[in-house]
Amino acid sequence: MRETDKPIRLRRAVASSETAREINRDILLHTIHLHQPVSRADLARLTGLQPSTVSVIIGQLIDEGWVLPGELGRLPRGRRPTFVTLNDQHVTLAIDLRPGNANLAVVDINGKILGRDVAIFEVQEDSTAKARAAIKHIAGAARALKMAYGDRLFHGLGVSVSGRVDQKTHRLLFSPNAPWTQIDLHGELEKALEIPIKMENAANACLFSERWFGNFGDASNMIVVSVSEGVGTGLLVDGRVVRGRDDMAGEFGHMPMEETGPVCGCGNVGCWEAFASNRAGLRYYHELAPDRAIATFQELIGLAQAGDMRALRAIDKMATYLARGLTMLSAGLAPEVIIVVGDCTALWSRIHPLLESQLIAKSFTPYSPRVVAAVDGDVARLRGAAALVLHNVLFRREDFAPRHPQEDQILAHAAAGAR
């Protein structure tokens, strides 16, 4: 037998006892999150772990302060079980950074928003001084909000921003609708607030929000579409967040939809977001009603909700283009669910049938993805910013991909039990 014909023996990595404990710890934390309040006996049943293993790890998590023992349950006979929950004393600051304002919040580990504020500012694309002044203003509002909840355990700041963020350098690489690229946004915020910061694209942040706080934590293939001044997407494929080279994956808002059309913020013509964003909706209304001057998309939503036919037609046209892009994403990525985030979901009863019918009509398989509105609307961007920090602190890793294939199976089983 030639040397090259000899069978190749693969070395198998053997998990140490410490690795096994870490995996089991993560499984229990996820299961508590899904089912809380929950007893140790139910945790053993849901995860398949030995009751003795569950008791040891829960004891450690209580000692570490991540889990709290709660009320006693009742059984027909035997010892009454003690229910456990995640300790909601653990919180983080969250900022959803927009072109002209910042939404701020204190969010606890269970996704509850404890307090909110808004910082309004003016930033010019070529003015570094104005950008730094805006950061100073935002930091002041964040400090005040943090002081209002000084009895809580803060773990840093999560920032959701319209644009793509290099996760290695923390630099904002691409932000056509929010002029922050002239400064080191991450560095300026970290310097002003003196706390650790996680910064992420808004659509990816919404993806984290849905995975941790939403109803689709067990989905392995999911797309979040954030509709605001632009259109951004967060992609979960086979259980992993898709980032691409330099973390630039997901800019489907800039895929060409038409050969002609309005100039996009990126400099190209005919981009998807030029036809399906909030700005597009406002443009459609102004074309239909040149005699009416409205400045914000919220005003357009209000007119539509009041039955203004021109506003409704503008929203319908925007939704038609949104549907066209979703059918392309569905064909290329085969998601289980598409989640739409944005102010437009206030008219979901009107928009949803149009989106759903197009996805069904254009599908070349018997299946089409569910298309749903984010359960918490645009607050998903704030909760997502919080999830960036809390998930990393709790599980000591930034992505949602399990450490071990078995962990994925057990988590899916636990999530199925939550429904």
Which domain CATH number covers 286? 3.30.420.40
Residue 111 is assigned to a structural domain of this protein: yes
Give the pLDDT score at 165.
Answer: 82
Number of structural domains found in the chain: 3
222 shares its domain with 353: yes
One-character DSSP codes across 93-144: EEEEE-SSEEEEEEEETTS-EEEEEEEE----TT-HHHHHHHHHHHHHHHHH
Write out the residue range of the structural domain in which residue 38 sits.
17-87
404 belongs to a structural domain: no
Both 107 and 138 in one domain: the answer is: yes
Q: How far apart are CA 403 and CA 396, in angstroms?
A: 11
In sequence order, what DSSP letters do the residues of 246-265 get, joined into one string?
GG-TT-GGGSB--SSSSBPT
Do both 223 and 325 map to the same domain?
A: yes
Residue 405 lies inside a defined structural domain of this protein: no
Task: Give residue 207's Cα distance to chain centre.
Answer: 3
The pLDDT tens digits for 70-101 are 765 555 555 667 899 999 999 999 999 887 88
Assess whether 23 and 114 both reside in one domain: no
Q: Any idea what DSSP says for residue 278?
A: H
Whether residue 261 sits in one domain with residue 160: no
What's the CATH code of the domain at 49?
Answer: 1.10.10.10
Q: What is the pLDDT along the chain (419 residues), one digit of tens a residue?
A: 444 444 434 344 444 567 788 889 988 998 998 889 999 999 999 999 999 999 999 999 999 999 999 765 555 555 667 899 999 999 999 999 887 888 999 999 998 999 999 998 876 666 778 888 888 899 999 999 999 999 999 999 999 988 788 888 787 777 766 667 667 888 888 888 888 999 988 888 888 888 878 777 778 899 999 998 889 899 999 988 888 887 778 889 899 988 888 888 888 899 999 999 999 999 999 999 998 889 899 999 999 999 999 999 999 999 999 999 999 999 999 999 999 998 899 999 999 999 999 999 988 888 899 999 987 766 888 999 999 898 888 876 656 555 555 555 555 555 555 54
Beta-carbon neighbour count of residue 397 at 10 Å? 13
Residues 106 and 78 in one domain: no
pLDDT of 235 reads 93
* Residue pointed to by tokens 């002003």: 192
Same domain as 100, residue 137: yes
- Which string of b and e fits 7-38 if b means at least 16 CB within 10 Å? eeeeeeeeeeeeeeebbbbbbbbbbbbbbebb
The answer to whether position 318 is within a domain reads: yes
300 domain residue, yes or no: yes
Neighbouring C-beta atoms of residue 295, cutoff 10 Å: 8
Query: Residue 407 is encoded by which pair of tokens?
Result: 């962990």
Same domain, 202 and 276: no
> Looking at the structure, do residues 171 and 36 belong to the same domain, yes or no?
no
Q: Do 300 and 367 fall within a single domain? A: yes
Domain co-membership, 238 together with 168: no
Note whether residue 3 is domain-resident.
no
Domain limit, last residue, from 87, 120, 148: 87
Phi, psi of 52 (to 5 degrees): -65, -40
* Whole-number pLDDT of residue 355: 96
CB atoms within 10 A of CB 61: 19
**Amino acid in the structure at residue 160:** S
The reported pLDDT for the residue numbered 406 is 52
Closest CA to 104 of 53, 67, 72, 138: 138
Do 223 and 364 lie in a common domain?
yes
Q: Is residue 346 part of a domain?
A: yes
In a domain, 412, yes or no: no
Distance, CA of 101 to CA of 120 (rounded, Å)? 4
Place of tokens 């254009």: 362
3-class DSSP state of 231 = strand
Class of residue 110 by CB neighbours under 10 A (exposed 0-12, middle 13-18, buried 19+) = middle
pLDDT computed for residue 417 by the predictor: 56
| Amino acid 12: pLDDT | 44
